Structure 1
Amino acid sequence: MPSRIYLGNWRLPDWALWYVSYGTAGLTGPELRQRRTLNVISALIPLSGSSYASLYLTVDAQGLWPAALAVSLFGLFLLWPMIAARNMLAAWIFGASVAVIVQAILVWLLGKGSGLHLYFLSIPVIAIVCFGTQRIGMLIGLVLLCATAMVYSEMALLAPASFIRVGDGLLSFLQVSAFVVVTCFATLGVYVGFLHADKAERSLEAEYARSEDLLYSLLPRQIATRLKAAPHATIADSLPNVAIVFADIANFTPLSIRLDPQEVVELLNSVFTDFDALADRHKVEKIKTIGDAYMVAAGMPNSVGDPAHRAADMALDMLQVAKASSTILPEGFEIRIGLHVGPVVAGVIGNRKLFYDVWGETVNTASRMESYSAPGRVLVTPAAHAQLSEDFVFEPRGEIDVKGIGLIETWWLTARA
């Protein structure tokens, strides 16, 4: 059974729901709306036709039976949903043909004084509401046909057919009802069109805003702006003074073996989310996370005057966050941090799963500092120490033999001065 349909607080009965939803399986979006509209109209047109047939027979059964017979032909629209469920083109042609032919017969029988030729205006509106604007050539042809029928009716069918007996009062009633119904059809068609266009536009604006937020969460705003302005351009920047901070949870591999997978993810998410907040506070750029490693950079994508100071503040605050978060686990945990300053190359590679990355000896050295650091401590290089020595407190660690680099003097960053 299809999902329920409500009109205000009134639920559509099951039999009506079945008819409205006939042939809609697998349809979504505009196609679903159009098919349901077609099903509803396929019931309303015969219902309206039967009421007019009853009116003609009540007024003068002997003189108006041809008109009653003609308008009863609108009952063919009850077949419309079955045809549409099998072939939409056939349904388009069937609906347009029946509407135009039956309406032409009625105008010929009752003349222009009945106002029935005005219904030719509503036929293209119904076609658009039920089928959309995909078949523009056929729609233009239908408009021309209906316009021609209207003009011909106005100029040639001046009086009812000779074998029809119809009074002036009935003709006046039919004319007024035609004005009202056609106006309602035209208004409804325009309203439905603008309603769905407005909904689509608002939905598009919301989706655009969400995509913008997602883009800016993946890339620095300046880089995202450059990518949108030139999607196929190569983004590669050489930056002379960038501070790189690497952080890693000490002994994470044996820790992750002991923990449930969900606990591992919750731990990393909790700690790294706090790190993200620190990155925003200190105005440094989060580059990426790799497993339990977290990397940020100060001085990119735009150069700043104090990248080392921002990175050092970030590193010390990361130690405090990790210390506070260690209570999540009974055995606790600590992080190691390495910091180095120097020139880098930064850019965006590829066109899928984009992110802003950074390369160079500075990055490699900062990564080595993290590897040679100790739990709960920040290890820095001579370049970082030189920029920070007046404003931060250090403990000498001495020379260490760093793989791929050689002997290098190092210091522990312990506090702000």
Structure 2
Amino acid sequence: MLGRFEDPDTERTYVEGERLARIPGTRFLAGIGIVTLLSYIGFNPLHFPREGVIAYNLAAGIFIAALVGIIALTFTRFYVERGWVDMLIFTALGVAMIMLIDALGDQAAITGISRFGMAIINLGILMVFASVGFVATTRYYLAWAGVVLVIYLAFLVQADRGIVNKVYTFTNFTTFFTFATFVNWDIDRRARKTFAAGQALELERRKTEELLFNVLPPEVAARLREGQAVADSFSDVSVIFIDIVGFSKLARRLSPGMLVKVLNEVFSIADECADRTGVEKVKTIGDAYLAVSGGQASGDRGAGEAIAFACDIIRSIRVFAQETDLDVQVRVGIHTGPVVGGVVGSRRYAYDYWGDTMNVASRVEGIAQPGGIAVSESTYLSARTAMPFSGAELHTLKGVGEVKIFRIDRASVCGEDEGPIA
């Protein structure tokens, strides 16, 4: 019935957030009470005797002081974090209200309202005020309101009135009680539903962001969220193309399910190698794997890291082939040059790269031997001081023309037993 959240942290977050949000309303209600009491303080001397004015002003002064205290308290974290303070606040207001009822009851001959009537009117007003003033603490409100109801019942029992009058009076007061209780419960119920919906929405937003960050660099994801067009230019990126050798033959030998499983394991190995060497995976294209070194998410990497990544994946795939007894090999082509990177389209976001450098890298990969690494002249010039290469070979690449190709000495660079690949 009270609808408390099972998780204590969630409950605390809700209560604090709701109390913080409703502080302006609490101050407004307290302000209305202060203005009302001040108006009566100014009006009463025109009709009440001096003793009655003093008694009323004393009770009203205490009430106003309590309301001012409420307003001051709302400026503190204590009010936000300690919901039980509402019990103390409205207990103090209850005492002040009883004093007001007593002072006004003494003036029944002038006002025409008995102490009996004053009690039901003023305590009813306090009950309704409390239904809004108890913020996100329905159980505290019910405890406080229950005590007030018992006190009022005790007042009726000892009053010099007939049983019928007492029954009708108590029924009238319980109408205030029921209405105020429903208001407090319904406000809290609706607020909890809104909070739960907000929590669910925030959870989905985080999942969406996490998914976005899994496919895009954080800076790119942030720019997309802000509605910016994502287009970047890079002057010196090493593009790495990796292809599975003899994939068509492998596809004929394996069932579709097994083939997909092998592809997944090979690409997972490539992902792990990319993480170890700091290069940036771009995408898979059929049985090919595309990565870059020096792009959006790998700006501090270069040709050396690209070659280290190629060596790592060749070694790892060799181990995989031995463990699975599958004839799986890869070949790697690397070319270094300018590219353009960015995100296009509005669905299935991916940060991609374009430019002639991408095309050349794919052609260079076609020249590499199974289990080997071939690089273009630009990559060779970037990494030649750090590692040994074979001599230059002239090759004519489709759509590119005649280019110099260099091969990696795997025995020296990749730490393998085999000699250089010819």
TM-score by length of 1: 0.57
Percent pairwise identity: 32
8 Å contact from structure 2 (residues 374, 405) kept in 1: yes
8 Å contact from structure 1 (residues 114, 174) kept in 2: no
* Aligned partner (choices 163, 177, 200) of residue 203 of structure 1: 200
Amino acid at match of 1:173: F
Structure number, greater radius of gyration? 2
State the match for 2:142 in structure 1.
Answer: none
* Aligned partner (choices 271, 277, 302) of residue 282 of structure 1: 277
State the match for 1:250 in structure 2.
Answer: 245
Deviation digits for residues 193-239 of structure 1 (CA, Å, limit 9, x no counterpart): 121122112212211111111111222222222222234x3x32221
Q: CA deviation at 1:185?
A: 1.2
Deviation digits for residues 326-353 of structure 1 (CA, Å, limit 9, x no counterpart): 2464333011110110111222222222
* Aligned partner (choices 301, 305, 312) of residue 310 of structure 1: 305
Q: Name the CA distance, whole Å, in 1 between partners of 2:368 and 2:237.
A: 20
Matched, 1:410 2:401: no
TM-score by length of 2: 0.56
8 Å contact from structure 1 (residues 241, 303) kept in 2: no
Q: CA deviation at 1:325?
A: 2.3
8 Å contact from structure 2 (residues 279, 298) kept in 1: no
Q: CA deviation at 1:249?
A: 0.9
Amino acid at match of 1:225: A
State the match for 2:57 in structure 1.
Answer: none
Deviation digits for residues 294-328 of structure 1 (CA, Å, limit 9, x no counterpart): 10111112784541112111111111221222246
State the match for 2:382 in structure 1.
Answer: 387
Q: CA deviation at 1:187?
A: 2.2
Alignment of 1:7-406 (within 5 A): 167-231=164-228, 233=229, 235-301=230-296, 304=299, 306-327=301-322, 329-396=324-391, 398-406=393-401
Q: Name the CA distance, whole Å, in 1 between partners of 2:254 and 2:191.
A: 56
Q: Name the CA distance, whole Å, in 2 between partners of 1:302 and 1:329.
A: 33
Amino acid at match of 1:171: Y
Aligned residues: 266
| Distance 1:206-1:303 versus aligned 2 partners, 3 A rule | closer
Amino acid at match of 1:385: Y
| Distance 1:332-1:187 versus aligned 2 partners, 3 A rule | farther
Q: Which stretch of structure 1 is more off in the superposition, 298-307 or 357-366?
A: 298-307
> What 5-or-longer segments of structure 1 have no aligned partner?
1-6, 9-110, 126-164
> What 5-or-longer segments of structure 2 have no aligned partner?
5-116, 133-161, 415-422
Q: CA deviation at 1:398?
A: 2.4
8 Å contact from structure 2 (residues 240, 335) kept in 1: yes
**Secondary structure at 1:225's aligned position in 2?**
helix
**Secondary structure at 1:396's aligned position in 2?**
coil
**Secondary structure at 1:394's aligned position in 2?**
coil
Deviation digits for residues 19-57 of structure 1 (CA, Å, limit 9, x no counterpart): xxxxxxxxxxxxxxxxxxxxxxxxxxxxxxxxxxxxxxx
Q: Name the CA distance, whole Å, in 2 between partners of 1:321 and 1:176.
A: 82
Q: Name the CA distance, whole Å, in 1 between partners of 2:259 and 2:392.
A: 33
Amino acid at match of 2:356: E
Q: Name the CA distance, whole Å, in 2 between partners of 1:404 and 1:283.
A: 31
| Distance 1:263-1:362 versus aligned 2 partners, 3 A rule | same
Q: CA deviation at 1:354?
A: 2.4
State the match for 2:88 in structure 1.
Answer: none
Cα-Cα RMSD: 3.3
8 Å contact from structure 2 (residues 279, 301) kept in 1: no
Amino acid at match of 2:174: S
Amino acid at match of 2:288: A
Q: Name the CA distance, whole Å, in 1 between partners of 2:247 and 2:293.
A: 26
Q: Which stretch of structure 1 is more off in the superposition, 221-230 or 331-340?
A: 221-230
